[in-house]
């Protein structure tokens, strides 16, 4: 079979979208391809911070403790573990991701620092 643009500058041989090699030279395994396809799918579902609104609140916990809670940012649209890491570093505290609830929680009252960090990342932030 001859390709439509064979012999012209538009004749670009098909290459693997994962490794970039010609399909005939590609050594990607089906598992590797599936893993990369899943990553691409997740990346496609991400939303830019500018299109998201985070709601930051400070909530009481057992034993006179408080927690800074961030809602409004979904696990689908964001890399919540990476965001939590950044917030933990900015606030100097520990925290958790509750992906099922699309919720981030930091130990202690760090609302001001959390708002500043989220805003610096481009997120819209509201108080509650």
Binding site for Zn ion (CB under 5 A): 16, 18-19, 26, 28
Compare residues 21 and 61 and give the one whose CB is closer to Zn ion.
21
Residue 27: CB minimum distance to Zn ion, A: 7
Which residues fall within 8 angstroms of residue 33, CB to CB, at 6 or more apart?
18
Compare residues 23 and 89 and give the one whose CB is closer to Zn ion.
23
Long-range own/partner contacts, residues 97-103 (CB < 8 A, 24 or more apart): 99/75, 100/75, 101/71, 102/71, 102/72, 102/73, 102/74, 102/75, 103/69, 103/70, 103/71
Residue 33: CB minimum distance to Zn ion, A: 7
Residue 39: CB minimum distance to Zn ion, A: 14
Q: Among all residues, whose Cβ is closest to Zn ion?
A: 16
């Amino acid at each position: 079979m001859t390709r439509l643009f064979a012999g012209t500058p538009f004749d670009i041989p098909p290459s693997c979208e994962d490794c970039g090699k010609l399909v005939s030279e590609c050594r990607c395994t089906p598992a590797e391809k599936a893993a990369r396809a899943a990553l691409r799918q997740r990346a496609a579902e991400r939303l830019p911070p500018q299109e998201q609104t985070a709601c930051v609140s400070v909530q009481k916990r057992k034993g006179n403790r408080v927690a800074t809670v961030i809602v409004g940012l979904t696990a689908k649209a964001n890399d919540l573990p990476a965001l939590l890491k950044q917030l933990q570093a900015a606030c100097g505290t520990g925290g958790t991701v509750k992906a099922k609830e699309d919720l981030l929680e930091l130990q202690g009252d760090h609302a001001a620092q959390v708002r500043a960090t989220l805003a610096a990342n481009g997120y819209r932030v509201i108080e509650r």
